[in-house]
Structure 1
Amino acid sequence: MIILVTEDNPQSLYLLEKYFTARGHTVWSATNGREGLDLLNTRKLPDVVVSDALMPLMDGFELCSSIRRDPRFHALPFVLYTATYTAESDERFALSIGVDRFVVKPVEPDRLLTIVIEVVAEVKTRPPREVVRTQLADDQLQEYTRMVLVKLEDKLLDLSKANAALSASEESVRTLNAKLVTTVARLEAEIEEHRRSDELLRMAQQAGGIGCWESNTQGAVHWTDEARTLLGYSGASNPSTLADFIRDITPDDRDRATEILGKLSETTAKALNLEVRFQKAGHPQTKHLHLRGALFPGNVGQAPRWLGIIQDISARKEAEARRQLLEQQLFRSQKMEALGNLAGGIAHDFNNILTAILGHADLLRYGFEQIPPSNPCHSSVAEITNAGQRAREIIKQILTFSRRQPIERRTLVFSKVVEDSLRLVRSTIGKNNKLLYSAATDRSASANESQIQQVLLNLCTNAAQAMAPNGGTITIALTPLDIETPQGGSRSSLKPGAYVRLAVNDTGPGMEPDVLEHIFEPFYTTKTATEGTGLGLAVVHGIVQSHEGMIGVESTPGKGTTFTLYFPAVQAITTPVNVSKNNGHPDGDGQTVLIIDDEPSVARTCAQLLEKLNYRPTAVTDPIQARDLFDRNPQAFAAVIVDFLMPRVTGLDLAKTFWTKRPDLPIILVAGFGAQMDATRARAEGFHEFLTKPFTTTTLSNALAGALKAKPAVAQ
């Protein structure tokens, strides 16, 4: 629709132009009636005329009268709005000269547009208007003259009152002039204070990463200097519309931001609260931004505007992400602790069962000494023993994985540790990955077996994930290395000496140099949230350093990655084996041994084995009963074998009670798993030997013989 607007007030004319245009209409603007007639004479016919009443050169009444006399546009819809002629007589006169609708200011733009649309529709449906052939009739002219005179009288009266007020205020003006200097000085001080406050506010905004913005309902936006600096804009690159700003929002947040910011054009929306990730084109850094704002209604004749702040919350988001990651790690740690407790309980029960099974297998072997070796009984006993040994290894792996085994290092043949670890590795890397292993050294190292297992598991798991989904080849090589002089480059931290070198290579995509710089940093990861936390290689690095070793990495994009680990080699320890002539175990000499274990099958099995080894055992399943038995005759026993975990009294507490009466009494401590007790602590507490269930007959006989040898028996 084409709307001719005649209005001498620039602000009102601008407002109507913008409002009507924003609603899809075309606006012709004129500042008085004469300009309006010129537009009608030089352009095609508009759909409607909207005119102010009081204007210079030609007012709205004259404009309407002229239009009605011209046959070219006498039927043109005409809306007159006024803030001056507001009496009922004024409205009657306007309607009498051909005005279709008389509107009294103030009126909201949306209401005025509704009236205009109604008038256009009414004109189309009513009979054609006749052309006014003459000037205003005498009665109309008289009415128009009367209206003008009334307004002139009102203006003269207002002018008279103003002159009277001016005369009355001359004395006040003279008095005020005397105070002007003081007032100006005070205002200057206030201005300076405001300037200082503005400067402090600007500094506070810069320190807090806060800027301000203002936007109209059409999407034009203005940013303060602090906001432009925060966004990384300068000069002509400043985004002048919300659409420009949205283009630099990251793709994951862009649709949501478009939907929310698009509602700023709706006056029904009153507040804005939006968090987005923002990356200005050409800038590598992604920022987290928080936009808040509120809609402020404009003054009369002015459109509402949005005012708000924008804040860089990247540091807060990073802290929240780190806290969330730590909470996840704590949750996983708690799950592992719960798993460890469960595994420990299961291992304790299973180890008791396995102790009885393996012990009775040995007892059967004793009983079959007179049976020919070809008899199937021998192979059956061997199968029982082998199955028990495999079950023991499974329990050991469960305890190792759940961290219920103590972290202690001992001298190990490194190739044996790697071979044992690879059984677990093969089950975790997937069937589409090939694992190759070669060992060119039998050197030993002081190491913790479970930690070396964790190192290999982490490295191979990372390699398998890097080669997903197509898979590839993981090559593990164990070689010796001798360093005679201090090294440079990547091996500068290695001291001269003998080393075991472990290399883990994959055929994955490799890593860029900027990734290699950070791979050993905690929480650094290129994986998704479901693939890992970024702690795996940091843990590997820490374990290698705790073993006084070194780890290096080489990677070429497209050609794979190789991790090389160096562990100091140590001299292997050879332990002599003392066996008897007949059955392969050190035999006793009839010594009395007190066996205390709350599991009856373990106590009975241990007693039966000791009888075969020429000892005189006494088995007790109640620790309180055992204490009473010992108290009656402390010299009756040459040695004691006691379980660590028992109801009411632990093996440690019971041993301390015995030692108060027999300080020289050899006591062997037995435990189902090593979470709360290990060999080092057991010896520190005074125990002569420490056994872990399930133990073999050989282990039991060697431990008892060693304890009796260290502390000769007092009673036989």
Structure 2
Amino acid sequence: MTLVDSLEGIVWECEFPSYRLTFVSQQAERLLGYPIKEWLESPNFFWGHLHEADKSRVMEYCREAILKKKNHQIEYRFFRKNGEMIWLRDLVTVVVEHDQPVKLRGVIFDITQSKQAETVLQESEERFRHLNEAIPQQVWTARPDGSLDYVNPRVLEYFGYPFEEMIGQGWQRFLHPDDLPGCLDCWARARETNQPYEIEFRLLRGSDHSFRWHLGRALPVFNSEGQVVKWFGSNTDITQLKQLENQVRQSQKMEAIGTLAGGIAHDFNNILMAILGYAELAKLSTRDNKGAQRNLEEVMVAGQRAKELVQQILAFSRQTEQIRQPLDLQLVVKEVCKFLRATLPATIDIRQNFAEATSIILGDPIQMHQVLMNLCANAEHAMRVRGGILELKVEHVTGEPDGIGIHPYPKGGAYIRLTVRDTGSGMTPEVAQRIFDPFYTTKEVGEGTGMGLAVVHGIVISHGGVIKVESEPGQGTTFNIYFPEMEARGHQGDDIPLQQEIFIGRGHILFVEDEEPLARLGEETLRSLGYEVMVCTSSIEALETFRADPFRFDAVVTDQTMPNMTGEALAGEMLQLRSDVPIILCTGFSHSMTPEKAKAMGIRAFLLKPLLIKDLARALREALHL
């Protein structure tokens, strides 16, 4: 065997321009299966077995290269004698004599395996590309020094920059300034240890210039020598997850506040019961003393405000049901203004403006207080540095209001418009568009939760109202809220003088209260209303007394929260002894007892402390059918 025949490739020679083969090595037969005789005797042997799709390309390429007298190489597909197609690489030398190409000499190698591997790689890269374009995460690859060399379309969409501007080291400019040091430290440790990493950070979004939370993950890619040749990473937007975490934390806080509020409400309402009750009794006994009457009236007003404050705390912690009733919005504004004057700095001038005598809506007074307090708190924050004017205005309007919310009158109607205006720092249009989003806030960390205006929005919508905000930077902010108006007729306040109603009753009442001051108050109150009273400061004692003679008493008035036996349990025992006994259950606050549950047990009335004399008197007369 000659040296040529021992080579791995097929050595050949042909004339030019006829392309007639003059020599082919034995490797041609071993590799392709055709006898050497066929190669040499058939003028078109090569072209006849070349893949049809490659013929014109190979012929044109070779012709141009030969005319330029350039050595060249080309790849093409060729069919073996058994019909199998293989890939070949042909290295061609042009033999030139007298400045003219006269012969071609070459070596052909089988590159089928490398082509197959190349195809597999291309298919893999194509799958990778489709996957990266389909998934919602941002995907990137980086060189060992951290400079990006690939980003998927999600990255371009998020940041709003073309591919060319995202490649390199510029990614750091998109990080939140507070997160940049931590990210750089994490990246430095990863490069030093060649270990995967995971970190949370905020990235600036191009469309609205807001920072959104992302979870970044990356892992190193090693070569055969164990060296890092690339980093593969992804960024997942976790902003909603962060918001849900905040909601859970807020919910847990509210649950804790609710538990605390319930305990405070019970004890505080009992204290208020004594203050209001004894003040009322004092008013009845000093009717001829005008000075004392005025002083006691102030005590009553203060007590009522304290009662409402407890209700606000319970409503805020969702411990009481929101009850809607005909409500004069002007009275709510006046109450809020009194509170604000005592709490806001003197640099803020509070003004109130009422266009009509009354402004009646169907609303929850606690929630209306919450709306006003939240709006005024935001106004105070906007004017904290330079001061300014805070104006609250209530007026009647007709037509179709412009804003966000429910429009109960599609063709226009009568509304009460509540306006809260400040001359503070104002807002940009971008901020104004997002102020009602939960957890969105422009305040510093620790100064706001981002829930105040979201709560305002929810309350307005639940009342069938419409809310609109107008603001410009440096020009202040105006909130206009529209509530459907109610007719004033039939709306009465709760301040009905005691002597205007007939509360005098008759009968024997068993009064059960474990706190001595309230027990004495109950006894005096009931006697002043004409009832005979027996007082028990122990629920166990009261049950034994009732068991001894169930028909001795015409009605039972009992507290709910007592040692040894609750009012609920006491009522159940008494009803078993005498099913028709009228029972009135009173409580400062109870987690377990509700008006519906009391009614289902057979209890005639369920009253919340602190009670006015008229509340208890009315309930007794109804229970006794007087």
TM-score by length of 1: 0.61
Q: Which residue of 2 aligns with 1:128?
A: none
Q: Compared with structure 1, are the counterparts of its residues 551 and 676 closer, same or farther at alpha carbon in structure 2 (3 Å cutoff)?
A: farther
Equivalent in 240, 262, 268 of residue 347 of structure 1: 268
1:327 to 248, 255, 258: 248
Q: Is the contact made by 1:429 and 1:460 (CA closer than 8 Å) also made in structure 2?
A: no
Q: 1:669 to 1:165 in 2, by over 3 A?
A: same
Is residue 382–residue 425 contact of structure 2 (8 Å, CA) maintained in 1?
A: yes
Q: 1:18-167 residue pairs with structure 2 within 5 A?
A: none
* Cα distance, 1:383–1:650 mapped onto 2, change above 3 Å: same
Shift in alpha-carbon separation, 1:411–1:663, aligned structure 2, 3 A: farther
1:618 partnered with 2:534: yes
C-alpha change, 1:247 and 1:409, in structure 2 (3 Å) is: closer
- Shift of the 262–698 alpha-carbon distance from structure 1 to 2, 3 Å rule, reads closer
Q: Tell me the equivalent position of 2:150.
A: 224
Q: What count of residue pairs does the alignment treat as equivalent?
A: 522
Distance 2:367 2:27 in 1: 94
Which residues in structure 2 correspond to 1:452-601 (within 5 Å)?
452-481=368-397, 483=398, 487=400, 489-490=402-403, 493-495=407-409, 497-567=413-483, 568-570=485-487, 571-574=489-492, 586-589=503-506, 591-601=507-517
Q: Residues 328 and 359 of structure 2 are in contact (CA less than 8 Å); yes or no, is this contact kept in structure 1? A: yes
> Corresponding residue for 2:259?
338
Q: Over residues 163-188 of structure 1, what are the superposed CA-to-partner deviations in whole Å (9 max), with x where a residue is unaligned?
A: 89969999997897369978865655
The structure that is helix-richer by fraction is 1
Q: Counterpart of 2:486 in structure 1: which amino acid? A: A
Report the CA distance between 1:397 and its aligned residue.
Answer: 0.8
Write the letter of the residue equivalent to 1:401. I
Cα contact 1:215–1:222 (8 A) shared by 2: no
Q: 1:199 aligns with which of 104, 116, 126?
A: 126
- The offset of 1:633, in angstroms, is 2.8
Find the aligned partners of 1:211 and 1:522 in 2 and give their Cα distance. 32
Say if 2:352 and 2:393, in contact at 8 Å, map to a contact too: yes
Specify the code of the residue in structure 2 equivalent to 1:695: L
**In the TM superposition, what is the alpha-carbon distance from 1:307 to its structure 2 partner?**
1.7
What are the residue-to-residue correspondences of 1:660-671 with 2, within 5 Å? 660=576, 662-671=578-587
Q: Distance in 2 between matches of 1:522 and 1:282?
A: 20
Q: Give, in whole Å, the separation in 2 of the partners of 1:228 and 1:442.
A: 57
Deviation at 1:461, TM superposition (A): 0.7
Counting only pairs closer than 5 Å after superposition, residues 406-417 of structure 1 correspond to structure 2 as 406-417=321-332
What whole-Å deviation, never above 9, does each CA across 1:55-108 have from its counterpart, x for those lacking one? xxxxxxxxxxxxxxxxxxxxxxxxxxxxxxxxxxxxxxxxxxxxxxxxxxxxxx
Amino acid at match of 2:130: M
Find the residue that maps to 2:143 and give its secondary structure: strand
**Which residue identity is paired with 1:326?**
Q
Query: Structure 1: how far apart are the matches of 2:300 and 2:497?
Result: 24
SS in 1 for 2:530: coil
1:441 paired with 2:357, answer yes
- Residue of structure 1 in register with 2:233 after alignment: 310
Task: Give the 3 Å change call, closer, same or farther, for CA 667–413 of structure 1 in structure 2.
Answer: farther
Pairing of 1:345-384 with structure 2 (within 5 A) = 345-351=266-272, 353-354=274-275, 357-358=278-279, 361=282, 366=285, 383=295
Shift of 1:565: 1.9
Say if 1:359 and 1:609, in contact at 8 Å, map to a contact too. Answer: no
Cα distance in 2, alignment partners of residues 258 and 660 from structure 1: 74
Alignment of 1:247-286 (within 5 A): 251-252=177-178, 270-271=194-195, 273=197, 284=209
CA contact 1:347–1:673 (8 Å) conserved in 2: no
Which secondary structure state, in structure 2, belongs to the residue aligned with residue 493 of structure 1?
coil
Task: For residues 530-552 of structure 1, give each alpha carbon's deviation from its aligned partner in whole angstroms, at most 9, with x where no partner exists.
Answer: 23232211211221222222222
**Paired position in structure 2 for 1:213:** 142
Shift of 1:698: 4.0
2:336 to 414, 421, 427: 421
TM-fit CA distance, 1:463: 1.1
Higher Cα Rg, which structure = 1
Letter of the 2:231 partner, please give it.
G
Q: Which residue of the partner structure matches residue 177 of structure 1?
A: 31
Q: Give the match's secondary structure for 1:224.
A: strand
In structure 2, relative to structure 1, the CA distance for the partners of 1:507 and 1:627 (3 Å cut) is same
Equivalent-residue separation in structure 2 for 1:552 and 1:227 (angstroms): 38
The whole-number CA distance in structure 1 between the counterparts of 2:384 and 2:205 is 33
Partner of 2:312: 400
Please give the secondary structure, in 1, of the residue aligned with 2:486: strand
CA positional deviation for 1:451: 0.7
CA distance in 1 between partners of 2:298 and 2:207 (Å): 67
Query: Could you tell me how far apart the structure 1 residues matched to 2:205 and 2:536 are?
Result: 78
Worse overlay, 171-180 or 403-412: 171-180
Partner residue of 1:85?
A: none
Distance 1:429 1:564 in 2: 22
Q: For residues 427 and 659 of structure 1, do their structure 2 counterparts lie closer, same or farther at Cα, with a shift above 3 Å needed?
A: same
Contact kept in structure 1, 2:269 and 2:307, CA below 8 Å: no
Are the structure 2 counterparts of residues 696 and 253 from structure 1 closer, same or farther at C-alpha, using a change threshold of 3 Å?
Answer: closer
Q: CA deviation at 1:190?
A: 4.4
* Paired residue secondary structure (2:563): coil
Q: Structure 1 residues 704 and 555, CA, compared in 2 at 3 Å: closer, same or farther?
A: same
The alignment-based identity, stated in percent, is 25
Q: Structure 1 residues 395, 198: CA separation in 2 closer, same or farther (over 3 Å shift)?
A: same
Q: Do the aligned partners of residues 396 and 500 (structure 1) sit closer, same or farther apart at CA in structure 2, a change above 3 Å counting?
A: same
**What is the one-letter code of the residue matched to 2:407?**
S
SS of corresponding position for 2:129: helix
Corresponding residue for residue 7 of structure 1 = none
Question: Partner of 1:114 in structure 2?
Answer: none
Find the aligned partners of 1:291 and 1:577 in 2 and give their Cα distance: 69
CA contact (8 A) 1:291 1:308 kept: no
- After TM superposition, the structure 1 = structure 2 runs for residues 668-679 of structure 1, keeping only pairs within 5 Å, are 668-673=584-589
Match of 2:543 in 1: 627
Retained in 1: the 8 A contact 2:269–2:610? no
Do 2:266 and 2:590's aligned partners in 1 also have CA atoms closer than 8 Å?
A: no
Give distance in 1, aligned partners of 2:614 and 2:184.
77
Inter-partner Cα distance in structure 1 for 2:148 and 2:529: 95
Secondary structure (helix, strand or coil) at the match of 1:569 reads: coil
Q: CA deviation at 1:280?
A: 9.4
Conserved 8 A contact 2:311-2:366: no
Distance 1:617 1:166 in 2: 127
Gaps of at least 5 residues in structure 2 are 11-24, 34-79, 87-109
- Match of 1:500, SS state, is strand
Inter-CA distance 636–509: structure 2 relative to 1 (3 Å threshold): same
One-letter code aligned to 2:122: R
Match of 2:38 in 1: none
Partner amino acid, structure 1, of 2:396: P
Query: CA 1:310 to 1:613, structure 2 compared with 1: closer, same or farther past 3 Å?
Result: closer
2:302 counterpart of 1:390: yes
Distance in structure 2 (CA, Å) of the matches to 1:283 and 1:513: 11
Letter in 2 for 1:415: Q
